[in-house]
Amino acid sequence: MEVLEASFTTTSLANEGELAANPINGSANDPDSRFRIEEAKILIKSIYRRRFDVDKKIAERRSDREEVLSRLRILHESEKRLKYDMVWRIKPQEHLQLALDKLSFANSAYQDREINSCLVADDINYRNLNFKMLHVSKNLASEKKILREIKASEKGKIVSLWSSLTEIDNSICRLRYTRCYPSRDSAGGDKQKLKEMKQLEIAREKAVANASVKGKIWNSLGTKKALQEEFKIKDKELEDIKKEHLLLKPDIKKADKELQRVEKDIISLQHQLTHLRRRMEEAYQHIVLLQKE
């Protein structure tokens, strides 16, 4: 009780800066309880005004924090999109480089040969049609129909290695995208998607290995000059994405620092608010004690 009374003397109120603005009639040494009650009430009014100001500042800084967080979310989404675009474009570039390397160093005896698709479905379908021709067909009309299907299947077998690899890479990228941006309709969990991606990557490696061993990549790859031109175009697009990503990084760093400053301000203001609440409680307790005297 003595500590409370000592903390609310005229001197302590003067430290709060209230006596000069709100003079009290009476002597500073007047022991009258009424004088000390009035002194405590003035202090409470002062604290209330300051609490109001601090509350207002906290609300403003919280609004600033939401604005910075919103900006950061947009920046991070842009960064994620650019990274995804880079991954999407790097693999086709590797395939173009592979094709250029093979055109540069391969034996000319391998050129002008057809390419078997690395996707086995066409080959299976082709064998099934031959099986029907040998074992199932019983009349001329059926045989002619099967022959037409076989010819169509043979034409479909001439697929470029690059196109096949691009198809596989597109499937892998789609799986990566669904992992980054899952939707309600997307079926299967991460384990299933990772398994599918691994299977596609193995199929891609086998396709490159088979084409390299058999030498059957030449007919549909196009001329070396055409591939070089396409490689330059794709490389330019990839470089533009990398530059955009580099330009984005300083904005993200700046927003992160701004968020840290705002968070620090909010914490400091909350500490001030806690201190003012405690001072107000002490002032009310002091008034209650004086009224009991």
Task: Express each pLDDT in 112-125 by its tens digit.
Answer: 444 444 444 444 44
My answer on whether 153 and 186 are in the same domain is no
Range of the domain at 184: 160-217
pLDDT for residue 88 is more than 70? yes
My answer on whether 169 and 207 are in the same domain is yes
The chain-wide mean pLDDT, for the chain, equals 69
Only one residue has tokens 């384990």, namely 191
CB-based contacts of 93, cutoff 8 Å, min separation 6: 231, 234, 235, 238
My answer on whether 164 and 185 are in the same domain is yes
**How much of the chain, in percent, has pLDDT values that exceed 70?**
49
Domain presence at residue 211: yes
My answer on whether 212 and 167 are in the same domain is yes
Domain presence at residue 277: yes
| Of the residues 195, 217, 239, the one at which a domain ends | 217
Average pLDDT (59-77) is: 95
My answer on whether 147 and 196 are in the same domain is no
**How much of the chain, in percent, has pLDDT values that exceed 90?**
24
pTM, entire model: 0.51
Domain presence at residue 247: no
Domain presence at residue 131: yes
Q: Higher confidence at residue 209 or residue 177?
A: 177
Domain presence at residue 83: no
Task: Express each pLDDT in 225-246 by its tens digit.
Answer: 777 787 788 888 888 988 999 9
My answer on whether 164 and 133 are in the same domain is no
My answer on whether 152 and 170 are in the same domain is no
My answer on whether 148 and 188 are in the same domain is no
C-alpha separations of 227 from 89, 96, 116, 161, 289 in Å:
15, 7, 20, 13, 92
Find the farthest-apart pair of alpha carbons in the chain and give their distance in angstroms, rounded.
127
C-alpha separations of 226 from 154, 217, 221, 223 in Å:
26, 15, 9, 5
My answer on whether 181 and 211 are in the same domain is yes
My answer on whether 164 and 213 are in the same domain is yes
- Give me the DSSP letters along 240-262: HHHHHHHHHHHHHHHHHHHHHHH
Our count of domains for the chain comes to: 3
Domain presence at residue 76: no
Place 200 in a pLDDT band, splitting at 50, 70 and 90.
confident
Domain presence at residue 9: yes
My answer on whether 128 and 177 are in the same domain is no
Only one residue has tokens 């330009």, namely 247
Quickly list H helices, the chain.
2-6, 10-15, 33-105, 121-131, 140-156, 161-180, 190-214, 224-292
My answer on whether 173 and 189 are in the same domain is yes
| Of the residues 178, 198, 217, the one at which a domain ends | 217
Task: Express each pLDDT in 21-50 by its tens digit.
Answer: 443 343 344 567 778 888 888 999 999 999
Domain presence at residue 49: yes
